[in-house]
Amino acid sequence: MGSGYRQEIGQKQGLFINARMRQSLQILQFSNTELQEFLANEVEKNPVLEPMDDSDAGIPPPQSKTDDRIPSLPHSNIGPGSQNWTSDSGLDDGVSRIAGTVPPLRERLFEQLILSGCSLEEREIGAHLISGLDGAGRLSILPEKIAAWLHVPVGHVDTVRQRMMRFEPAGLFALSLQECLRVQLEERNRMDPAMAKLLDHLDMLARYDLKGLCQLCEVDLEDMHGMISDLRSLNPKPGMETTDECLTAVIPDILLEQSPASEWILELNPVTTPNVVLNSALITRLSLRAQPKEHAFLSEHLTNANWLIRSLQQRSITILRVATEIIRRQEKFLTQGPSGLVPLTLRMVAESLGVHESTVSRVSANKYIATTRGTLPLKFFFVAALSGENGEMHSNAAIQVKIRQMITNENPASPLSDDIITTRLRKDGIDIARRTVAKYRESIGFPNSVQRRQRAVGSSGFL
């Protein structure tokens, strides 16, 4: 049978995203900084748009007959009981998936923090460390302040910081240039006593005192040039390593306060709330004098402006709805700390609000909430979990605590194997595989049973 070209006619259904829908999805996922830059570009391109005066920021503008301004958003009052929780109605974007972009550096760091298998307390410490990064990637908040704020030992904060300094890109969360470079050299296995002395005397390197450095480090000139070459290959400002903009101070998108009546009040931060409106005076003036071609130009830009304002309104309402549902489910965290976090997934929030899971994902990306325990990313409140025999959910952090307690209280001469730990957890109603137990055990810093037994025997023999 010969091959050739042919034409066929058929029908099929599909989901297509037009430019406006794509713009709405991008606006929903923007951080407050990205949104401000986007709106500045839109105001520059569209003559019928104008920024709201700073003096009017956060004040709901009056409603016009054409509904061209963003309506005021009521606060979300959250009481101690579930019956007192309220949430404004919002709109779903209606689209399940679009191609994503590379997440900002803080988002990637928080994902690495979650994947590191840290406890809930360590997650809270890590979230504060991430929020405290400056433009160069240094830690702008001293560990002592974070420890005092969270009522934890300073050593615990520094332990988490030391671990996070190995995150990609290495060298973040350092308190000094020397510490930043030291971590990067250690990750490359290039740290030795001579390099340590060089790092402690960078002032001599700045003066290019190679002779003095050679004597101090006890190396010849050729080795010194090699060490300097290694230093030049490092990044002194890892916070600027990526393609996204320089890290800026975290400004919360949502404010959470407790009223005198012990009710939690959620509201959008007026500083980051979109503040563009239609230039009504210009529209009226052009409408009266415009020619047919100018009317078409004005109509096109007016339609785009109204669509943008509706998208901003939808974004504000959706953020408030999602944040309200998250805080409603994690209310105990506000009073009990990390131990009050309960298992929570994107799907659970999406099903409660009647929106798609991707909508919750976009809202929680790059958004921060100011709570009584500091400014935290919305993703902080999502805690992975495993299902139990009776359908009960158990958070991964809670399971790690159980494993830690078992190993801590075990007989050193007869340590518990992963199989025994798995059996005990299953008796407690936690359906978990042995390999998952092994992964959790390693993440909290415990070797396997054989190594623990050898360590116990070695310690007893030494004594």
DSSP 1: -
> Each residue of 173-203: pLDDT tens digit?
999 999 999 999 988 888 888 888 899 888 8
Cα distances from 107 to residues 151, 180, 194, 278, in angstroms, run 25, 21, 37, 34
Close Cβ partners of 240 (under 8 Å, ≥ 6 residues apart) = 135, 136, 137, 246, 247
> Each residue of 386-399: pLDDT tens digit?
665 565 666 676 78
Q: What are phi and psi of 237, to 5 degrees?
A: -130, 75
pLDDT surpasses 80 at 409: yes
**H-type alpha helices, 337-432:** 346-353, 357-364, 396-408, 418-427
Predicted structure pTM score: 0.63
> Each residue of 448-460: pLDDT tens digit?
888 888 887 765 5
pLDDT surpasses 60 at 91: no
Residue range 363-384: mean pLDDT, rounded:
86
Measured distance CA(31)–CA(365) in Å, rounded: 8
The pLDDT value given to residue 304:
84
Query: Which of 108-117, 223-232, 242-251, 335-344 is modeled with the greatest confidence?
Result: 223-232
Close Cβ partners of 368 (under 8 Å, ≥ 6 residues apart) = 131, 250, 251, 252, 253, 254, 375, 376, 377, 378
pLDDT surpasses 90 at 325: yes
Query: Which token pair is 198?
Result: 């060089």
Residue range 41-58: mean pLDDT, rounded:
71
Low-confidence winner among 338-347, 358-367, 385-394 (lowest mean pLDDT): 385-394
At residue 322 the predicted structure's pLDDT band, cuts being 50, 70 and 90, is: very high
Closest C-alpha to 231, from 275, 271, 269, 182: 182
Write 95-99 long-range contacts (CB < 8 A, 24+): 95/15, 95/17, 95/21, 95/25, 95/356, 95/358, 96/15, 96/356, 96/358, 97/358, 98/17, 98/22, 98/25
At residue 68 the predicted structure's pLDDT band, cuts being 50, 70 and 90, is: very low
Measured distance CA(77)–CA(262) in Å, rounded: 10
Give all domains of the chain, ordered by start, each with its CATH number.
Answer: 19-42+252-380 (no CATH), 105-243 (no CATH), 385-462 (1.10.10.60)
| Axis crossing angle, helix 221-232 with helix 193-200, rounded to the nearest 10 | 70
At residue 324 the predicted structure's pLDDT band, cuts being 50, 70 and 90, is: very high
CB 426 within 8 A of CB 446: no
pLDDT surpasses 50 at 128: yes
